[in-house]
Amino acid sequence: MRFFRKSIKEKLDKFNPTSSKGNLLNANVSTNEQMLRDQFALCNDVEFRSIPIDEYSKILLVYIDGFCDTKALDESVLKPLIFEGITRKLEQIKTISELIRLQLLPVAKVKLVTTVSEVVDEVLMGNVAFLIDGESIALIAELQSLEKRGIEEPLSETVIRGPRDGFTETLRVNTSLIRRRIRSPKLKIESLSIGEYTKTSVEILFIEGIAKDSIVEEVKKRIGQIKIDSVLGSGYLEDFIEDVPFSPFPQIQNTERPDVVCASLLEGKVAIVVDNTPFVLIVPMTFWSGLQAAEDYYERSVYMTFIRWIRFTLLNIALLFPSFYVAITTFHQQLIPTNLLISVAAAREGVPFPGVIEALMMEFMFEGLREAGIRLPKPIGSAVSIVGALVIGQAAVQAGIISAPMVIVVATTGIASFGIPRYNLGFAYRLLRFPILVLAGMLGFYGIVIGVVSILIHLINLRSFGVPYLSPVAPLSKGGFKDIFIRAPRWSMNERPGMVQQNKQRIPEGQMPSVNRGSEKK
């Protein structure tokens, strides 16, 4: 053992000449234990276990009960240390820590740290720290054991045809789902830790050679500048890194689907994976990506082109239908056919409120029912929202407070808003519906035009990580139209869409199926 102490002292004098400075670990394990106990004061779940080596030395294990894999700790660490000892091959080993690292720790990941703060951080991550008497370093063995949810189908992005796996709250499971689909060393993953207290792991994913370096560096810069006490979900980061915080339109896409993330990475975008949340952020986001669903790329192009046109129609209905109804019944009755005008007038007879107040009341009620259906427990949420809408709507019409055509208009608008694939983009349209409705009640069609033009001006000037929000439509890029208003066949989308990649070529030309291919084989 004297040989060990001499070699340790010589090595430490070279490695750490200023061991008394700062919060570096001490060569005395009892001193290190006291410093760690001070750090973990009143933390009853932190375990300190001392194992004597001989009459001169001991090994101290520090871990959190319930956070590390105690079964692996018993089998891989404690059993060899207690029953097998450290007497083997002493002539090849110069330090006790090296002996443990090379001989007695069958653990995939082992590393050395030199400061108390590093030991504290590693223990709080679920790892086990080994402090050896006579050495001012600590050995860290990754023996995390976290309870985690199984991989399930995402509830917010269901598909008829497509993969059924979704992200979970475990960071490494999420990155493995992405790596499983993109098996290339060019998929880069860079790690950060954010949050003074939570120290949440955040990883930035991009494909080298496809993603623009300027966008990758901008993402790293914005995330690296965040100073916050806690990060409990990806939404915490979203507030700090978006370009225009007060815009109603989302500038960062979030998804629970690994295939959506992989498709975005292959287009040159950057993904941000945050620990403890199943929602992965994708930047930059464009307006058109908010209207695209995962299933668009698993069905035939003819079908999906038709569905996309239905979505564009529903988008306009969700934004303008109540405003159009209020404007045409209040200011522009001459545009309504006579028979329809008589029917609407008869339905509105006896209604005490003007059209705009009537519409606002119904819209607020519909949004309240929608929110109640989401927040209530699942077994009763849908029942309350459906029964509430039927009962309140029917009662309001019979009482003469609301006209029947207004109920139809608001219900149609609500159904149309459900046709927008991305929830956050749909929320933007639900929010903008109210100011346009007020403008329509004040100025008629002129108010609607003012509202729509204002929204278009805002969208044209909006940026997401420097990329125009309406690209490739504004600025115009003809190649991008193959995946905007239509969903072209896969073999015809030769270039990656948008302005975020440095390698545009995606599919070689000349792969269109031949009409006479079957007859040629014969």
Domain that holds residue 15: 2-141
Instruction: For residue 472, say if its preceding peptide bond is cis, omega within 30 degrees of 0.
Output: yes
Task: Let me know whether 340 and 459 are in one domain.
Answer: yes
Task: Let me know whether 305 and 381 are in one domain.
Answer: yes
Among 141, 140, 132, which residue's Cα sits nearest to residue 8?
Answer: 132
In a domain, 233, yes or no: yes
Number of domains forming the structure of the chain = 3
Task: Let me know whether 60 and 97 are in one domain.
Answer: yes
Among 212, 188, 179, which residue's Cα sits nearest to residue 503?
Answer: 212
Q: Who contacts 408 (Cβ-Cβ below 8 Å, separation ≥6)?
A: none
Q: Who contacts 195 (Cβ-Cβ below 8 Å, separation ≥6)?
A: 228, 229, 230, 231
Q: For the residues of 295-351, what is the DSSP string, one character each?
A: GGGTS-HHHHHHHHHHHHHHHHHHHHHHHHHHHHHHT-GGGS-HHHHHHHHHHHTT-
**Rg of the chain's alpha carbons, rounded to an integer?**
31
Please, what's the b/e burial string for 230-248 (b: 16 or more CB within 10 A of its CB; e: otherwise)?
ebebbebbbeebbbeeebb
Task: Let me know whether 280 and 196 are in one domain.
Answer: yes
For residues 138 and 29, the answer to whether their CB atoms sit within 8 Å is no
Q: Per the structure block, which two tokens stand in for 337?
A: 């056919």
1/288 Cα distance (integer angstroms): 70
DSSP 8-state assignment for residue 128: E
In a domain, 404, yes or no: yes
How much is the pTM? 0.85
- Taking CA atoms, 86 is separated from 83, 90, 91, 140, in Å, by 9, 8, 12, 18
Place of tokens 């497509």: 162
pLDDT on residue 105? 63
For residues 281 and 394, the answer to whether their CB atoms sit within 8 Å is no
Task: Let me know whether 437 and 337 are in one domain.
Answer: yes
pLDDT on residue 449? 96
Among 77, 68, 167, which residue's Cα sits nearest to residue 125?
Answer: 68
Last residue of a domain, one of 232, 257, 285: 285
Task: Let me know whether 336 and 370 are in one domain.
Answer: yes
In a domain, 75, yes or no: yes
Task: Let me know whether 52 and 22 are in one domain.
Answer: yes
In a domain, 438, yes or no: yes
Task: Let me know whether 314 and 400 are in one domain.
Answer: yes
Among 206, 243, 315, 293, which residue's Cα sits nearest to residue 468?
Answer: 243
Per-residue model confidence as pLDDT tens for the chain (522 residues): 444 444 444 444 443 433 334 488 988 898 999 999 999 999 999 999 888 776 667 889 999 988 887 777 777 677 766 665 555 544 445 565 666 655 556 666 788 899 999 999 999 988 899 898 888 889 888 888 777 788 888 988 888 888 999 999 999 899 999 999 999 999 999 999 999 999 999 999 999 989 999 999 999 999 999 999 999 999 999 999 999 999 999 999 999 999 999 999 999 999 999 999 999 999 999 999 999 998 899 999 999 999 999 999 999 999 999 999 999 999 988 888 888 888 888 888 888 889 899 999 888 888 888 887 777 777 676 666 666 777 777 788 888 888 888 888 988 998 898 889 998 899 999 999 999 999 999 999 999 999 999 999 999 999 999 899 998 888 887 767 888 888 888 888 887 776 777 777 788 877 888 755 555 554
For residues 216 and 187, the answer to whether their CB atoms sit within 8 Å is no
